[in-house]
Structure 1
Amino acid sequence: MKETELTAIYSSPSGRTKATTSLIRGERDIPVIYDDNLREIKLGQWEGKTHSSIKEMYQPEYESFWNAPHLFKTVGGETFEQTRARAIQVLNRIKSEYKSGNILIVTHSVVIKCLYSFFKNTPIEILWDPPYIHDTSLTIVEMNENGFKLVLEGDITHLETPNFI
């Protein structure tokens, strides 16, 4: 990303994404906008718990999270639809504030999957369909007056190391 000219960076204000944003920005003079709408899905009573304890304590909700995301609800948290709606607010903000340029969004896996469902016009029901979103994966989306077009999805080629003999 250091060779990519960026007009602005929109980032979740979480610690991990702030660190990633800082690394990508480097010494370049690029405006950074931290937006709470890019935070990861709010999981309410699940927050701070391990997968195994969540699975044990909240079996039906855990099953719907992974197998029927359109039915997922948790106490004190949000649904995938709510997460998608707030992520779309960021897209609308970018669309209204920038008519051209490369805008980087640094966010989390569930938010990215929710954005994919928006870009592809697919239901939350198939949210977990491929591609898998790895940490630091790159997705490229073109935006124009007709909407959004996915150009690259979940690319991790930058993580591949060459094999030396």
Structure 2
Amino acid sequence: MTAERGLWLVRHGALPPNPERRFVGARDLPLSKAGRAQIRALAVDLAPVLADPRLVALLSSDLSRCRETAAILAAAAGRPLLVHADADLREISLGDWEGLTPAEVERAFPGQYASRGRDFAHFSPPGGESFVRVQQRSLAALERWRARYPEGLLLLAGHAGLNRCLLARYLALPLADLLRIPQGYASRTFLPGW
């Protein structure tokens, strides 16, 4: 790691099982036991990063699964490391869809699921937001944090949708291709220069 400035994107660990594939979005679900184990293993892998004095802060969504992820990583750093939770770094709000299955969405909001597929980047469920909006608010949040920490490395404990929005911007990919960007539980990506 030679960059004097960069951003580590980490996705939180696994959530409790969701066999019905209910939309999660910005619901505040905790890490599962397996998710905590994933993040502890990630902390071992990231030990050199966490110990690096160039890592100046951990950023986190304000949702508990990311705050816990950041806390586990910070505890593994072996040194004082500030953790900042920020609501502008939370997962996409799916509004009235949250907690529903795709079939329930289709029954309650006929045609909307198909509309989302036709305009993935701009579609907003009732009471929710679009991926365009997620990208705008998360980029603004990173600008604020970079103003506070202009040099050094930052680590963001985030979500699949949020991290994909940031990666799409970094890689100059259209948001319509968001789901092509891998974001497994406890994944990490380093973005030099950001």
- TM tier relative to shorter chain: 0.7 to 0.9
The size of the alignment, in residue pairs, is 143
- Correspondences of 1:45-84 after superposition (within 5 Å): 45-58=96-109, 60-66=111-117, 68-84=119-135
Deviations 1:9-47 (A, max 9, x none): 010011111111111111531011110011100111012
| DSSP 3-state at the match of 2:59 | strand
1:3–1:59 Cα change, 3 Å: farther
Tell me the distance in 1 between the aligned counterparts of 2:116 and 2:156.
Answer: 25
- Correspondences of 1:27-106 after superposition (within 5 Å): 28-58=79-109, 60-66=111-117, 68-106=119-157
Q: Which amino acid aligns with 1:2?
A: A
| DSSP 3-state at the match of 1:102 | strand
- Correspondences of 1:119-158 after superposition (within 5 Å): 119-129=170-180, 131-143=181-193, 148=194
Q: Is the 8 A contact 1:109 1:134 kept in 2?
A: yes
Q: Is the 8 A contact 2:60 2:158 kept in 1?
A: yes
Question: If the length of structure 2 is used for normalisation, what is the TM-score?
Answer: 0.67
Q: Is the 8 A contact 2:122 2:132 kept in 1?
A: no
1:59–1:136 Cα change, 3 Å: farther
Point out which structure has higher relative CO (alpha carbons under 8 A, 6+ apart). Answer: 2
1:132–1:60 Cα change, 3 Å: farther
User: Which consecutive unaligned segments of at least 5 residues does structure 1 have?
Assistant: 149-165
1:139–1:59 Cα change, 3 Å: farther
User: Which consecutive unaligned segments of at least 5 residues does structure 2 have?
Assistant: 1-45
RMSD, aligned α-carbons = 1.9
Tell me the distance in 2 between the aligned counterparts of 1:38 and 1:45.
Answer: 20
Q: Is the 8 A contact 1:54 1:62 kept in 2?
A: yes
1:58: how far off? 3.5
